[in-house]
């Protein structure tokens, strides 16, 4: 009998042994389970990484990392111990194969990017930009993006417990890097949140609020609870989604008594008012789904919220293989009860070309995962097209594969097109990474980029 392209096997979730890492050899289970200990021991720089991993990681890696931070990184480094521990989970730094395995690791590839990961020819696409989704242009009030007719995104704060190298909101989120200065909110936090609430009270057409950041796990719980409680009092709001990668990166936080009790209060009120609260998290690799992550997701479900869903990002070197994606989806679904929901194509931010997939690759991956998962848990692959919004990757209107330009249409006006009669007739462009194009396409882009220089 011929083998199936993918063979499902239930895999037990495993918490890797943190004591294999020299810097945490004496850390107890109680310390590891403490959100406070995790936050206090996040790795924020090369010196701290060195003190955790020790000499087992070759010097060439640290040099590579240092150069990336100076010349390419759009996000500063911030990795909680929980995430560091899932990198090369089965190997001790004393193993001679450790450095190569660390380089190749799917989680390392996006949480601790190094200079040699990036494309030397096209580190950025010519159309890459900060705030590539133009969210700030669509702010109804500062931090509240009103892009879709019935949905808003509330960016409550510009920080997270972990910083991902490919962060879409690199314009706003995290600390400045030598390459990228960050946009700063002008209003003080509580004034900003009050302005958002005021806008939502005046917007009966909005029924769905994504409460995000940053990551809501960095907002003190009482402040988050009072914001969500305020949303629950607005008659027309029926769906509330809390965005937190920390459910995976810092599950210890979501397991604290304060958060569990507070979420239970919110879920009880939501149920009484027929409103759905869900947590949306961001897991990109199966090895990130550990028993602690599963415990946090299940603790949240036990509070009575509607669901915990995953929105991953397609990243080359992390999850660009069918097997990696299906392993991840089954790990989420089987024991963590997290619903696979979306995989986004990586957005067109600066220095992201080595991570980005072409539209054709994303379409192929969507094709290849069909039929293995239950239909309700089969994630959709999404291209977030600037000035359009989320489109399934097969919804493309036209696709020029030689130039790597896809053309998209839309069926609603975003916040910046209220008076634009042609908004629904226009085609909007999205771009494949240039290094994947046939030679004629690459030549087209070389000439386009060279042209302004030649004129000058
Ligand atoms: S958790 Fe989300 S918002 Fe924070 S750095 Fe990662 S991708 Fe960006």
Map residue 120 onto helix, strand or coil. coil
What was the pLDDT predicted at 421? 87
Stated pTM of the model = 0.96
State if residue 280 touches ligand 1 by the CB under 6 angstroms criterion: no
Local confidence pLDDT in tens for the 456 residues of the chain:
999 999 999 999 999 999 999 999 999 999 999 999 999 999 999 999 999 999 999 999 999 999 999 999 999 999 999 999 999 999 999 999 999 999 999 999 999 999 999 999 999 999 999 999 999 989 999 999 999 999 999 999 999 999 999 999 999 999 999 999 999 999 999 999 999 999 999 999 999 999 999 999 999 999 999 999 999 999 999 999 999 999 999 999 999 999 999 999 999 999 999 999 999 999 999 999 999 999 999 999 999 999 999 999 999 999 999 999 999 999 999 999 999 999 999 999 999 999 999 999 999 999 999 999 999 999 999 999 999 999 999 999 999 999 999 999 999 988 788 888 888 999 999 999 999 999 999 999 999 998 754 443
Given ligand 1 and candidates 153, 159, 214, 246, which is best to mutate, with the most ligand atoms within 8 Å of its CB?
Answer: 214
- DSSP states of 358-399: PHHHHHHHHHHHTTTS-GGG-PEEEEEETTTEEEEGGG-SEE
Distances (CA, A) of 324 to 169, 284, 356, 383: 25, 9, 16, 20
State if residue 173 touches ligand 1 by the CB under 6 angstroms criterion: yes
* Residue 141 β-bridge partners: 144
- DSSP states of 182-219: PP--SS-HHHHHHHHHHHHHT-TT--EEEEESS-GGGS
Distance 159 CA to ligand 1 centre (A): 8
Residues whose CB is less than 8 angstroms from the CB of residue 228 and which lie 6 or more positions away in sequence, other chains included: 211, 240, 242, 266, 277
Distance 161 CA to ligand 1 centre (A): 9
Query: What is the distance between the alpha carbons of residues 322 and 214, in angstroms, rounded to a whole number?
Result: 29
Given ligand 1 and candidates 169, 177, 249, which is best to mutate, with the most ligand atoms within 8 Å of its CB?
Answer: 169
State if residue 166 touches ligand 1 by the CB under 6 angstroms criterion: no
Distance 23 CA to ligand 1 centre (A): 26
Given ligand 1 and candidates 156, 164, 213, 247, which is best to mutate, with the most ligand atoms within 8 Å of its CB?
Answer: 164
Among candidate residues 96, 105, 89, 6, the one with its CA nearest the CA of residue 57: 96
Whether 13 and 379 have beta carbons less than 8 Å apart is answered as no
Whether 145 and 153 have beta carbons less than 8 Å apart is answered as yes
Distance 338 CA to ligand 1 centre (A): 19
Task: For ligand 1, atom 3, name the residue with the nearest CA.
Answer: 214
What was the pLDDT predicted at 415? 77
Task: For ligand 1, atom 7, name the residue with the nearest CA.
Answer: 167
Rg of the Cα atoms in the chain: 22
Task: For ligand 1, atom 1, name the residue with the nearest CA.
Answer: 245
What was the pLDDT predicted at 417? 85
Task: For ligand 1, atom 8, name the residue with the nearest CA.
Answer: 167
State if residue 214 touches ligand 1 by the CB under 6 angstroms criterion: yes
Given ligand 1 and candidates 215, 243, 343, which is best to mutate, with the most ligand atoms within 8 Å of its CB?
Answer: 215
State if residue 357 touches ligand 1 by the CB under 6 angstroms criterion: no
């Amino acid at each position: 009998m011929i083998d199936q392209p993918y063979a499902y096997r239930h895999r037990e979730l495993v918490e890797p042994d943190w004591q294999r890492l020299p810097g945490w050899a004496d850390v107890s289970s109680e310390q590891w389970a403490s959100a406070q200990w995790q936050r206090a021991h996040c790795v924020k720089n090369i010196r701290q990484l060195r003190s955790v991993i020790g000499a087992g990681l070759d010097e060439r890696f640290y040099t590579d990392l240092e150069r990336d931070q100076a010349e390419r990184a759009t996000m500063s480094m911030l990795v909680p111990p929980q995430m560091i521990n899932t990198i090369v989970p089965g190997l001790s730094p004393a193993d001679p194969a450790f450095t190569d395995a660390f380089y190749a690791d799917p989680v390392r590839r996006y949480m601790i990017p190094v200079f040699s990961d990036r494309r030397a020819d096209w580190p950025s696409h010519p159309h890459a930009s900060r705030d590539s989704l133009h969210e700030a242009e669509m702010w109804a009030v500062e931090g509240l993006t009103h892009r879709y007719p019935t949905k808003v995104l509330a960016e409550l704060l510009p920080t997270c417990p972990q910083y991902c190298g490919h962060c879409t909101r690199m314009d706003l989120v995290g600390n400045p890097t030598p390459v990228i200065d960050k946009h700063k909110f002008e209003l003080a936090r509580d004034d900003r949140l009050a302005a958002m609430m005021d806008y939502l009270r005046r917007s009966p057409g909005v029924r769905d609020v994504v409460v995000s950041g940053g990551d809501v796990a960095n907002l003190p719980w009482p402040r988050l609870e009072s914001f969500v409680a305020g949303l629950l009092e607005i008659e027309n709001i029926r769906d509330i989604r809390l965005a937190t990668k920390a459910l995976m990166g810092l599950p210890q936080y979501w397991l604290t008594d304060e958060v569990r009790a507070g979420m239970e209060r919110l879920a009880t009120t939501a149920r009484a008012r027929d409103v759905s609260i869900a947590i949306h998290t961001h897991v990109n690799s199966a090895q990130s789904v550990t028993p602690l992550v599963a415990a946090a997701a299940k603790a949240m479900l036990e509070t009575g919220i509607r669901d915990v869903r995953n929105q991953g990002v397609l990243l080359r070197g992390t999850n660009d293989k069918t097997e990696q994606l299906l392993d991840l989806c089954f790990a989420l679904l089987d024991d963590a009860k997290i619903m696979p929901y979306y995989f986004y194509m990586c957005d067109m931010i600066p220095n992201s070309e080595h991570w980005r997939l072409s539209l054709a690759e994303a379409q192929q991956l969507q094709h290849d995962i069909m039929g293995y998962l239950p239909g309700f848990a089969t994630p959709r692959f999404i291209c977030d097209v600037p000035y359009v919004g989320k489109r399934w990757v097969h919804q493309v209107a036209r696709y020029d594969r030689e130039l790597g330009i896809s053309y998209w249409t839309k069926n609603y006006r975003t916040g910046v097109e209220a008076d634009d009669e042609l908004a629904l007739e226009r085609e909007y462009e999205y771009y494949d990474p240039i290094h994947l194009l046939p030679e004629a396409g690459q030549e087209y882009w070389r000439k386009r980029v060279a042209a302004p220089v030649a004129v000058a």
